[in-house]
Amino acid sequence: MSVNEVTWQPKILVFACNWCTYAGADLTGLSRLQYPATVRILRVPCSGRINPQFVLKAFQKGVDAVLVAGCHPGDCHYTTGNYFTRRRFLIMRRLMEYVGLEPERLQARWISAAEAPKFQQVITEISEQIRALGPNRKLRDEEWKI
């Protein structure tokens, strides 16, 4: 699929842990809180399951931003998973800066199963941020056309 500036809409991939953020996104729906249709949610058991290589792969495939989201620190269903996520995320952001990818394209948030308004707010904010930042042209497999 060719991509271009005119029809471009941000495409944001959300890795959501099954216990907190995925449930929080469900609650956002149940509460009918509206947010931009820019995100696609991918369910993983724990945010600690998210390999930084998945994130790189997503950028390669043309995703404009990745949100890593899980339980609040201390609330991980698997006790310690999100602590590892937090460390990996910080290193990954530095790596992105180093190789010249906008670090804003990778975001992490702790969103509990009860925080529907937070989920709505986070998605809205990131969508606007990425819209301002423009499409992800680096690292992607296919050529960018104007």
Residue ranges of alpha helices (H) inside the chain are 21-30, 52-60, 81-99, 116-133
Tell me the closest approach of the beta carbon of residue 98 to another protein, in angstroms: 20
Q: Among residues 4, 8, 29, 94, which is the contact residue for another protein, using CB under 8 A?
A: 29
Tell me the closest approach of the beta carbon of residue 73 to another protein, in angstroms: 14
| Other beta carbons less than 10 A from residue 92's beta carbon | 22
Tell me the closest approach of the beta carbon of residue 59 to another protein, in angstroms: 10
Is 68 within 8 Å of 93 (Cβ atoms)?
Answer: no
Tell me the closest approach of the beta carbon of residue 84 to another protein, in angstroms: 6
Q: Can you tell me the distance from the alpha carbon of 35 to that of 123, in angstroms, rounded to the nearest whole number?
A: 7
Nearest-CA neighbor of 81 among 43, 47, 117, 126?
47
Helix pair angle (52-60, 81-99), 10° resolution: 40
Q: Among residues 5, 34, 103, 128, which is the contact residue for another protein, using CB under 8 A?
A: 34
String marking each residue 101-140 x if it binds another protein according to CB under 8 A: -------------------x--------------------
Q: Is 44 a binder of another protein (CB under 8 A)?
A: yes
Tokens 């449930």 appear where? Answer: 23
Q: Is 71 a binder of another protein (CB under 8 A)?
A: no
Q: List the 12-17 sheet strands across, edge first.
A: 39-44, 12-17, 65-70, 106-110
Taking the least distance from each CB to another protein, the nearer of 96 and 120 is 120
Query: Which parts of this chain interact with another protein (CB under 8 A)?
Result: 1, 11, 13, 18, 22-23, 25-26, 28-30, 32-35, 37, 40-46, 48-52, 54, 57-58, 61-63, 77-81, 84, 88, 120
